[in-house]
Amino acid sequence: MTESLKFRVETADEGVVVTLDGTKCMVRYVKADTGLNLFHVRGDERAPIHDIHFLARARQLANAKAKELGWIRDDAPLPLPA
């Protein structure tokens, strides 16, 4: 079964929200000094993709949006390990 999945990416209050149309799937990332931090996840057992695949694609889309907004720079140094 091949379906076209439509993701929606929105910014709100120093964060990025990614949803999957037609489902309850949602993830919210908040802006942090080191990039984006995962804040909240909501899955949907009836979604046409597994949660882990949704989260992986949502992360890519959220990072792209954060770069577009200037929140993340490609040339920024990685944080040092704790």
Domain ranges of the chain: 7-68
Give the span between the Cα atoms of 26 and 58, in whole angstroms.
Answer: 9
pLDDT surpassing 70 at residue 77: no
- Tell me the pLDDT tens digit for each residue of 7-28: 999 998 899 999 999 999 999 9
Q: Please provide the DSSP assignment of 12-63 as one string.
A: -SSEEEEEETTS--EEEEEEETTEEEEEEEE--TTSSS-HHHHHHHHHHHHH
Mean pLDDT score, 2-8: 83
